[in-house]
Amino acid sequence: MAVYEGNFVQTGDLRLAIVIGRFNDLITGKLLEGCQDGLKRHGIDVSPESKQVDYYWVPGSFEVPLVAHQLAQSHRYDAVICLGAVIRGQTPHFDYVAAEVSKGIAAAGFRTGVPVIFGILTADTLQQALERAGVKSNKGWEYAMSALEMATLMRQISPLLSHNNRGSGSRPPLPTEALQAGVTLDSTAY
Ligand code: INI
């Protein structure tokens, strides 16, 4: 049996992209700060001179998936972190923006095989958003941790995949279920 899981320590050579929506930048700026804080404390250089992290600003959450998809498709990055804030009440099209951005971010990950982290804060009010963006806790930190965990996990999974068959000999490709979180693999079978 083999158990695969990501970690927060093998971060030295990870490359990350962060896509940030300017809309509601009072909130997204705070999410970015929390995200950078989490990355920095786990060994990632987040400075302006960084060769590990690149930042991409877009007008709003709706534009995030397109850029995230392009960046993931470039395979320059081990993970793409998407940051945005969609607040109900500020717009009648809250539901449209929220639905499209969540579907788009999920699609970007599925289509490219690169972890694309859903760091879009949805809230009913500005107050609620503020509380999750630094006043009580900062969700940006959690998004950073998800990126590190997924990036380090995918580095372990990648050599096992049939299209990237380094070192797996004549063993059959992994079943799709094996790529789901929490599944343990029988290493004698694969
Ligand atoms: N963009 C957001 O990131 N959050 C919102 O709450 C929001 N609202 O409320 O409208 C929002 N709208 C802008 C949208 O993301 C696009 O940038 C815009 O529609 C242009 O395509």
Query: Would you say residue 190 has pLDDT above 80?
Result: no
pLDDT tens-place string over residues 128-147: 999 999 999 999 999 999 99
Residue 89 pLDDT grade (very low, low, confident, very high; cuts 50, 70, 90): confident
From 22, 97, 100, 126, the mutation candidate for ligand 1 (largest count of ligand atoms within 8 A of CB) is 97
What pLDDT score was predicted for residue 163? 65
Would you give the end-to-end CA distance of the chain in angstroms? Answer: 10
pLDDT tens digits for range 177-187: 444 444 444 33
Assign domain 16-165 to its CATH superfamily.
Lumazine/riboflavin synthase (3.40.50.960)
Rounded Cα–Cα distance for residues 81 and 27 (Å): 16
Nearest CA to ligand 1 atom 21: 62
Measured in Å, residue 60 CA sits from the centre of ligand 1 at 5
Find out whether the beta carbon of 23 lies less than 6 Å from any atom of ligand 1.
yes
Is the shortest distance between the CB of 89 and ligand 1 below 6 Å? Answer: no
162 has a pLDDT exceeding 60? yes
- Decide whether any atom of ligand 1 lies within 6 Å of the 104 Cβ: no
Active site residue 93: yes
For the chain, domain boundaries: 16-165
Question: Which of the pair, 59 or 171, is modelled with greater confidence?
Answer: 59
d(CA 14, CA 76): 10
* pLDDT for the residue 161: 84
Phi, psi of 9 (to 5 degrees): -120, -30
Q: Quick one: pLDDT band at residue 188, thresholds 50, 70, 90? A: very low
- Note the pLDDT of residue 183: 42
pLDDT band at 55 (very low <50, low <70, confident <90, very high): very high
* 3-class DSSP state of 32: helix
